[in-house]
Structure 1
């Protein structure tokens, strides 16, 4: 019972402090930009878009370097592609 009371008290105090801090418009803008930056850094979109996962198991006929690697017998891209698809 004490643990539930402690958790609910902590939640109420967190809401109170947060609402007091977000009362000012400049603080709200700072928090919004901080959350937006954290979302992009945690989602890793820049890493996923820059790495060609869809190309790994199916090289383009005109991509000479990728075709050369596949013709030399490198199985890493194929295995990586299969693991990502699963």
Structure 2
């Protein structure tokens, strides 16, 4: 019996959430709450380890071409889109 209730509970929560977010003012409230919680979490994490937070701020928007981790990540991301495009073109 409990296996049948769990999916119905998730379905009910999904429907309730969708109906709540159908109004623009409710979506704005949710986004404001999301941003405030996100800001509090970032502030808390920066208090716990300020050096890592400062490293991220220094690195943001100023990528170093000699940073192999970032270079590899960017390369993989670029190759993913190229491979996806080629795959889609070959299917047609």
Instruction: Give the TM-score normalised by the residue count of structure 2.
Output: 0.46
Q: Greater CA radius of gyration, 1 or 2?
A: 1
Larger helix percent: 2
Instruction: Give the TM-score normalised by the residue count of structure 1.
Output: 0.49
Higher-RCO chain (CA-CA 8 Å, sequence separation at least 6): 1
